[in-house]
Amino acid sequence: MSSQSIREDLLARFASVPGADDAFIDQCVNLCITYNLSGESLYYKWESLHFSASSRSVIAVTAGTLDTLRAQLKRELTNAQLKAAETAKVKSKLDGVLGMGSGTGLLGSRFKAKAHVGLVNARPEGTGVTDAFMSAGGQETARTRRVVFEGPTVDEASKKRREFRYMYEKISERSEVLDDRLDEIGELVREHYGIPELSDPSASTDHDVVVVGRITLDSDASSTVKLNESSLCLESSRMMGSGSRIPLKFDTNVVMRGGPKGQSSIGMFPGAIVAFKGRNGGVGWFSVSEILTVRALSIGSSNFLLMCVFLAATISSETA
């Protein structure tokens, strides 16, 4: 608004107020321009400062009116700036924990990285570790023998049996597979952390509980289709929580538990299976206070020994 329109608005509103002379109106116009207010807003703020429920008379403008009004506006501006800074600090902390601020977190650069496509290095049979070792004058031993990995047969009958007709898939079959996977991961989390029983995230409790579910997108709670803090939901299995979905709210002091040393964030995406500790206080969402990382898969002893043998043979052939 222009200063002229603000002045006209103030003149119309302070017309019946005693003591509202031109000098007072000019100072009010400067306040409106400084604090980006309209004449109506400034008048209402003046009314709120001088409102008295016991007196219905019109309060006159005095010498201290402008000082009081200016101090009130400055105090409101300071409070708004402090609140905005605190909100930005909390959001930055949550983004760091959830991996939303870094490229390796939620929908980060690792999902956008382009795969390097090139030609497969096709080498004829017999040019593996054994031939390299034999050409160097060594003797073939069981340690340097080529490892052959056997997979499923590729004949027509076997491929016919393995065909998956996804057009005939039923929704009930898909949901059963998801429930089985959630129950399986939930059992692993329960055994790993020694938890007596997993709980339903949609049930109200007065103490912290541990829940397991998969991340889903609540499109109704967000103006965009992207996954963010306000659109995170947790869906439990039918056995643990009747398959219900509950919005997630992360505490400002949320911590991670059971992760590798130095891990400070976790990537989340629709379908990710996660474990949280927190409570549902009956307010329509689950408040997360701890993020429990899922136990990493152990390396099989046979595969580990084969890998050691292969590395030892490779080093021997290179140093020969």
Shared domain check, 290 and 160: yes
Does residue 81 lie within any of the structural domains? yes
CB 285 within 8 A of CB 123: no
Q: What are phi and psi of 259, to 5 degrees?
A: -85, 170
- Residue where one domain finishes, among candidates 32, 58, 92: 92
Q: Three-state SS string across the chain, please? A: CCHHHHHHHHHHHCCCCCCCCHHHHHHHHHHHHHCCCCHHHHHHHHHHHHCCCCCCCCCCCCCCHHHHHHHHHHHHHHHHHHHHHHHHHHHHHHHHHHCCCCCCCCCCHHHHCCCCCCCCCCCCCCCCHHHHHHHCCCCCCHHHCCCCCCCCCCCHHHHHHCCCCHHHCCHHHHHHHHHHHHHHHHHHHHHHHCCCCCCCCCCCCCCCEEEEEEEEECHHHCCCCCCCHHHEEEECCHHHHCCCEEEEEEEEEEEEECCCCCCCCCCCCCCCEEEEEEECCCCCCEEEEEEECCCCCCCCHHHHHHHHHHHHHHHHHHHC
- pLDDT of 276 reads 93
Residues 284 and 260 in one domain: yes
CATH number of the domain to which 64 belongs: 1.10.8
For residues 68 and 140, membership in a common domain is answered with no
User: What pLDDT, on a 0 to 100 scale, did the predictor assign at position 253?
Assistant: 86
Same-domain check for residues 123 and 244? yes
Q: Are residues 243 and 317 in the same domain?
A: yes
Do 285 and 138 lie in one domain? The reply is: yes
Comparing CA positions, the residue from 139, 189, 149, 174 lying closest to residue 320 is: 139
Say if 97 falls within a structural domain.
no
Distance CA 251, CA 287 (A): 7
Instruction: Per-residue pLDDT tens, the chain, 320 aa: give them.
Output: 688 888 888 888 888 788 788 888 888 888 888 888 888 888 888 887 776 544 555 577 777 778 888 888 888 888 888 888 877 776 776 666 666 655 444 444 444 444 444 444 444 444 444 454 445 454 545 455 677 656 667 777 777 766 666 666 677 777 888 888 888 989 999 998 899 999 999 888 889 999 999 998 876 665 666 777 778 899 988 888 788 889 999 888 888 888 777 777 788 888 889 999 999 988 889 999 999 987 665 655 556 666 676 676 666 555 55
Structure-token pair, residue 192:
């790993």
Residue 204 has which token pair? 């109200």
Same domain, 86 and 24: yes
Same structural domain, 158 and 230:
yes
pLDDT computed for residue 71 by the predictor: 86
- At 278 the pLDDT is 93
Same domain, 306 and 196: yes
From 47, 73, 92, give the residue that closes a domain.
92
Q: Which domain holds residue 180?
A: 103-320
pTM of the model as a whole: 0.47
Same domain flag for 13 and 122: no
- State how far Cα 251 lies from the chain centre: 12
Total tally of structural domains belonging to the chain: 2
CA-wise closest residue to 235 among 205, 264, 268, 201: 201
* The last residue of a domain, from among 62, 92, 122: 92
